[in-house]
Structure 1
Amino acid sequence: MASQGFPRGLRILTGGEYRHVFDNASFKVHGKGLLALATPNDLGHVRVGLVFSKKNLKRAVDRNRLKRLTRESIRLRQHWLPAVDIVVLSRRGVHELEAQTLARQLHGMWRRLEKDVQRQSKPQ
Protein backbone atom coordinates (compact mmCIF):
# COMPACT_ATOMS: atom_id res chain seq x y z
CA MET A 1 0.00 0.00 0.00
CA ALA A 2 1.32 3.42 -0.93
CA SER A 3 2.13 5.94 1.77
CA GLN A 4 -0.48 8.66 2.29
CA GLY A 5 1.69 10.97 4.39
CA PHE A 6 2.64 14.56 3.62
CA PRO A 7 6.43 14.55 4.10
CA ARG A 8 8.77 17.48 3.69
CA GLY A 9 9.63 16.28 0.16
CA LEU A 10 6.11 17.16 -1.03
CA ARG A 11 6.49 20.81 -0.06
CA ILE A 12 8.00 23.80 -1.81
CA LEU A 13 10.17 25.26 0.90
CA THR A 14 12.48 28.02 -0.29
CA GLY A 15 11.89 31.39 -1.87
CA GLY A 16 13.90 30.30 -4.90
CA GLU A 17 11.58 27.34 -5.48
CA TYR A 18 8.53 29.61 -5.26
CA ARG A 19 10.19 32.13 -7.62
CA HIS A 20 10.90 29.34 -10.13
CA VAL A 21 7.20 28.41 -10.24
CA PHE A 22 6.08 32.04 -10.53
CA ASP A 23 8.56 32.78 -13.32
CA ASN A 24 8.08 29.54 -15.29
CA ALA A 25 4.40 28.68 -14.75
CA SER A 26 3.46 26.40 -17.64
CA PHE A 27 -0.01 25.75 -16.28
CA LYS A 28 -2.62 27.96 -14.65
CA VAL A 29 -5.74 26.45 -13.13
CA HIS A 30 -8.43 28.79 -11.84
CA GLY A 31 -11.01 27.95 -9.24
CA LYS A 32 -13.51 30.01 -7.32
CA GLY A 33 -11.32 31.97 -4.94
CA LEU A 34 -8.17 30.01 -5.80
CA LEU A 35 -5.47 30.00 -8.45
CA ALA A 36 -2.89 27.25 -8.96
CA LEU A 37 0.30 27.89 -10.89
CA ALA A 38 2.34 24.84 -11.89
CA THR A 39 5.56 23.99 -13.64
CA PRO A 40 6.97 20.53 -14.41
CA ASN A 41 9.72 19.16 -12.16
CA ASP A 42 12.21 16.31 -12.52
CA LEU A 43 11.54 14.79 -9.11
CA GLY A 44 8.92 12.26 -10.18
CA HIS A 45 6.32 13.50 -7.70
CA VAL A 46 4.18 16.54 -7.00
CA ARG A 47 5.28 19.35 -4.67
CA VAL A 48 3.03 22.09 -3.35
CA GLY A 49 3.50 25.57 -1.94
CA LEU A 50 0.77 27.73 -0.42
CA VAL A 51 0.41 31.52 -0.58
CA PHE A 52 -2.60 32.77 1.36
CA SER A 53 -2.23 36.47 2.02
CA LYS A 54 -3.60 38.54 4.84
CA LYS A 55 -5.08 40.84 2.22
CA ASN A 56 -7.55 38.15 1.08
CA LEU A 57 -7.96 36.26 4.35
CA LYS A 58 -7.88 38.64 7.30
CA ARG A 59 -8.03 36.11 10.12
CA ALA A 60 -5.23 33.63 10.79
CA VAL A 61 -7.80 30.95 11.56
CA ASP A 62 -9.18 31.30 8.00
CA ARG A 63 -5.72 31.13 6.44
CA ASN A 64 -4.81 28.06 8.51
CA ARG A 65 -8.10 26.34 7.63
CA LEU A 66 -7.52 26.89 3.93
CA LYS A 67 -3.93 25.62 4.19
CA ARG A 68 -5.07 22.53 6.04
CA LEU A 69 -7.78 21.72 3.49
CA THR A 70 -5.41 22.27 0.55
CA ARG A 71 -2.67 20.10 2.05
CA GLU A 72 -5.20 17.34 2.75
CA SER A 73 -6.45 17.49 -0.84
CA ILE A 74 -2.89 17.12 -2.17
CA ARG A 75 -2.05 14.39 0.33
CA LEU A 76 -4.97 12.24 -0.78
CA ARG A 77 -4.24 12.67 -4.50
CA GLN A 78 -0.44 12.79 -4.49
CA HIS A 79 -0.01 9.44 -6.26
CA TRP A 80 -2.00 10.30 -9.37
CA LEU A 81 -0.98 13.93 -9.74
CA PRO A 82 1.73 14.57 -12.36
CA ALA A 83 5.30 15.52 -11.42
CA VAL A 84 4.83 19.28 -11.11
CA ASP A 85 5.53 22.03 -8.61
CA ILE A 86 2.26 23.75 -7.69
CA VAL A 87 1.80 27.08 -5.93
CA VAL A 88 -1.77 27.69 -4.73
CA LEU A 89 -2.80 31.32 -4.25
CA SER A 90 -5.92 32.66 -2.58
CA ARG A 91 -8.18 35.27 -4.10
CA ARG A 92 -10.91 37.44 -2.65
CA GLY A 93 -13.99 35.63 -1.43
CA VAL A 94 -12.32 32.30 -0.73
CA HIS A 95 -13.11 32.54 2.99
CA GLU A 96 -16.83 32.40 2.18
CA LEU A 97 -16.58 28.86 0.76
CA GLU A 98 -17.61 25.94 2.92
CA ALA A 99 -15.20 23.04 3.46
CA GLN A 100 -17.12 20.66 1.16
CA THR A 101 -17.31 23.23 -1.62
CA LEU A 102 -13.62 23.98 -1.26
CA ALA A 103 -12.73 20.27 -1.37
CA ARG A 104 -14.75 19.82 -4.59
CA GLN A 105 -13.14 22.93 -6.03
CA LEU A 106 -9.64 21.63 -5.30
CA HIS A 107 -10.46 18.18 -6.68
CA GLY A 108 -11.68 19.74 -9.93
CA MET A 109 -8.57 21.91 -10.15
CA TRP A 110 -6.27 18.87 -9.76
CA ARG A 111 -8.20 16.99 -12.46
CA ARG A 112 -7.90 19.94 -14.87
CA LEU A 113 -4.19 20.26 -14.09
CA GLU A 114 -3.66 16.56 -14.76
CA LYS A 115 -5.47 16.83 -18.12
CA ASP A 116 -3.49 19.94 -19.09
CA VAL A 117 -0.17 18.24 -18.29
CA GLN A 118 -1.16 15.12 -20.26
CA ARG A 119 -2.28 17.24 -23.20
CA GLN A 120 1.01 19.15 -23.27
CA SER A 121 3.18 16.03 -22.96
CA LYS A 122 1.53 14.23 -25.92
CA PRO A 123 3.49 14.52 -29.18
CA GLN A 124 1.61 16.35 -31.89
Structure 2
Amino acid sequence: MNSTQELSAHPETPSSSKQAKNDFPKSNRLLSPKSYSHVFAQAERFGNRNWTMIVRPNNEDYPRLGLAIAKKQLQRAVWRNRVKRIAREAFRSHKKELSGYDIVVLGRKGMQDLDNETLHSSFLHLVRKIKKSKLKNSPSK
Protein backbone atom coordinates (compact mmCIF):
# COMPACT_ATOMS: atom_id res chain seq x y z
CA MET A 1 0.00 0.00 0.00
CA ASN A 2 1.26 3.47 -0.79
CA SER A 3 1.01 6.39 1.61
CA THR A 4 -2.23 7.84 0.17
CA GLN A 5 -3.98 4.48 0.53
CA GLU A 6 -2.76 4.22 4.13
CA LEU A 7 -4.11 7.67 4.93
CA SER A 8 -7.53 6.93 3.45
CA ALA A 9 -7.69 3.55 5.19
CA HIS A 10 -7.32 5.22 8.62
CA PRO A 11 -9.00 8.62 8.29
CA GLU A 12 -9.09 9.45 11.99
CA THR A 13 -6.17 8.59 14.16
CA PRO A 14 -6.09 9.33 17.90
CA SER A 15 -3.50 12.05 17.36
CA SER A 16 -5.69 13.90 14.85
CA SER A 17 -8.69 14.00 17.20
CA LYS A 18 -6.46 15.21 20.05
CA GLN A 19 -4.92 17.86 17.83
CA ALA A 20 -8.31 19.30 16.90
CA LYS A 21 -9.09 20.11 20.53
CA ASN A 22 -5.59 21.39 21.35
CA ASP A 23 -4.95 23.42 18.22
CA PHE A 24 -3.37 26.85 17.94
CA PRO A 25 -5.32 28.78 15.26
CA LYS A 26 -4.51 32.30 14.12
CA SER A 27 -7.31 33.64 16.32
CA ASN A 28 -5.24 32.55 19.35
CA ARG A 29 -2.13 34.45 18.26
CA LEU A 30 -1.01 38.03 18.55
CA LEU A 31 0.07 38.73 14.98
CA SER A 32 0.53 42.44 14.40
CA PRO A 33 2.86 44.95 16.03
CA LYS A 34 -0.25 46.96 16.91
CA SER A 35 -1.67 44.10 18.99
CA TYR A 36 1.66 43.67 20.80
CA SER A 37 1.75 47.42 21.53
CA HIS A 38 -1.79 47.24 22.83
CA VAL A 39 -0.80 44.54 25.32
CA PHE A 40 2.36 46.36 26.43
CA ALA A 41 0.51 49.69 26.85
CA GLN A 42 -1.53 48.87 29.96
CA ALA A 43 -0.67 45.44 31.20
CA GLU A 44 0.10 43.51 34.31
CA ARG A 45 3.44 41.74 34.59
CA PHE A 46 3.74 38.23 35.99
CA GLY A 47 7.09 36.57 36.38
CA ASN A 48 9.16 33.91 38.01
CA ARG A 49 12.74 32.74 37.67
CA ASN A 50 12.26 31.47 34.10
CA TRP A 51 9.46 33.38 32.37
CA THR A 52 7.96 36.84 32.27
CA MET A 53 4.40 37.28 31.02
CA ILE A 54 2.81 40.57 30.10
CA VAL A 55 -0.94 40.10 30.50
CA ARG A 56 -3.93 42.23 29.58
CA PRO A 57 -7.65 41.35 29.45
CA ASN A 58 -8.90 41.20 25.85
CA ASN A 59 -12.73 41.23 26.21
CA GLU A 60 -12.97 38.03 24.16
CA ASP A 61 -13.87 34.51 25.24
CA TYR A 62 -10.57 33.10 23.99
CA PRO A 63 -6.93 33.83 24.89
CA ARG A 64 -4.25 35.11 22.53
CA LEU A 65 -0.53 34.42 22.81
CA GLY A 66 2.44 36.39 21.57
CA LEU A 67 6.04 35.27 21.88
CA ALA A 68 8.92 37.73 22.27
CA ILE A 69 11.93 35.56 22.98
CA ALA A 70 14.89 37.89 22.55
CA LYS A 71 18.16 36.97 20.93
CA LYS A 72 19.87 38.91 23.70
CA GLN A 73 18.46 36.46 26.27
CA LEU A 74 18.89 33.23 24.29
CA GLN A 75 21.61 33.65 21.68
CA ARG A 76 21.12 30.46 19.68
CA ALA A 77 18.10 29.95 17.44
CA VAL A 78 17.83 26.35 18.63
CA TRP A 79 17.36 27.57 22.20
CA ARG A 80 14.80 30.21 21.22
CA ASN A 81 12.81 27.75 19.11
CA ARG A 82 12.74 25.19 21.92
CA VAL A 83 11.51 27.75 24.43
CA LYS A 84 8.82 28.95 22.02
CA ARG A 85 7.72 25.38 21.38
CA ILE A 86 7.37 24.73 25.13
CA ALA A 87 5.44 28.00 25.63
CA ARG A 88 3.04 27.23 22.78
CA GLU A 89 2.41 23.70 24.06
CA ALA A 90 1.75 24.87 27.63
CA PHE A 91 -0.55 27.60 26.28
CA ARG A 92 -2.45 25.13 24.11
CA SER A 93 -3.01 22.73 26.96
CA HIS A 94 -4.30 25.48 29.29
CA LYS A 95 -6.29 27.71 26.95
CA LYS A 96 -9.43 27.36 29.03
CA GLU A 97 -7.81 28.83 32.15
CA LEU A 98 -6.39 31.74 30.15
CA SER A 99 -9.52 32.67 28.22
CA GLY A 100 -10.08 36.40 28.04
CA TYR A 101 -6.41 37.40 28.17
CA ASP A 102 -3.80 38.62 25.73
CA ILE A 103 -0.42 37.31 26.84
CA VAL A 104 3.07 38.16 25.62
CA VAL A 105 5.69 35.69 26.82
CA LEU A 106 9.26 36.86 27.36
CA GLY A 107 12.22 34.60 28.00
CA ARG A 108 15.01 35.01 30.50
CA LYS A 109 18.72 34.27 30.42
CA GLY A 110 19.74 30.75 31.27
CA MET A 111 16.54 29.05 30.07
CA GLN A 112 18.57 26.89 27.69
CA ASP A 113 20.11 25.06 30.66
CA LEU A 114 16.76 23.91 32.06
CA ASP A 115 14.95 20.75 31.04
CA ASN A 116 11.55 20.84 29.31
CA GLU A 117 9.64 19.62 32.38
CA THR A 118 11.02 22.43 34.55
CA LEU A 119 10.17 25.07 31.95
CA HIS A 120 6.68 23.64 31.49
CA SER A 121 5.92 23.53 35.22
CA SER A 122 7.30 27.04 35.61
CA PHE A 123 4.97 28.25 32.83
CA LEU A 124 2.01 26.57 34.55
CA HIS A 125 2.93 28.28 37.82
CA LEU A 126 2.41 31.62 36.06
CA VAL A 127 -0.85 30.42 34.51
CA ARG A 128 -2.14 29.74 38.02
CA LYS A 129 -0.96 33.18 39.19
CA ILE A 130 -2.79 34.84 36.28
CA LYS A 131 -5.96 32.90 36.99
CA LYS A 132 -5.87 33.86 40.70
CA SER A 133 -5.19 37.52 39.93
CA LYS A 134 -8.76 38.29 38.83
CA LEU A 135 -7.26 40.74 36.35
CA LYS A 136 -10.34 40.50 34.12
CA ASN A 137 -12.57 41.74 36.93
CA SER A 138 -10.55 44.89 37.62
CA PRO A 139 -11.68 48.07 35.87
CA SER A 140 -9.76 49.04 32.73
CA LYS A 141 -7.78 52.25 32.72
Q: Which residue of 1 aligns with 2:39?
A: 21
C-alpha separation in 2, matches of 1:6 and 1:82: 13
Q: How do 1:80-119 and structure 2 match up within 5 A? A: 80-117=97-134
Alignment length, in residue pairs?
A: 121
Q: Which has the larger radius of gyration?
A: 2
Deviation at 1:40, TM superposition (A): 0.4
Higher RCO (C-alpha under 8 Å, 6+ residues apart): 1
More deviation, 1-10/95-104: 1-10
Q: How do 1:8-87 and structure 2 match up within 5 A? A: 8-25=26-43, 27-87=44-104
Report runs of 4+ in structure 1 exceeding 2 Å deviation.
Answer: none
- Alpha carbons 2:46, 2:130 under 8 Å: kept: yes
TM-score in terms of structure 1 length: 0.90
C-alpha separation in 1, matches of 2:28 and 2:99: 12
Root-mean-square deviation over aligned CA pairs = 1.9
Specify the code of the residue in structure 2 equivalent to 1:32.
R
- Alpha carbons 1:82, 1:117 under 8 Å: kept: no
C-alpha separation in 2, matches of 1:122 and 1:89: 24
- Unaligned 5+ residue runs, structure 2? 1-17
Q: Which residue of 2 aligns with 1:121?
A: 137
C-alpha separation in 2, matches of 1:65 and 1:18: 22
C-alpha separation in 2, matches of 1:122 and 1:22: 17
- Alpha carbons 2:57, 2:101 under 8 Å: kept: yes
Q: Which residue of 1 aligns with 2:23?
A: 5
- Alpha carbons 1:82, 1:114 under 8 Å: kept: no
C-alpha separation in 1, matches of 2:103 and 2:61: 14
TM-score in terms of structure 2 length: 0.79
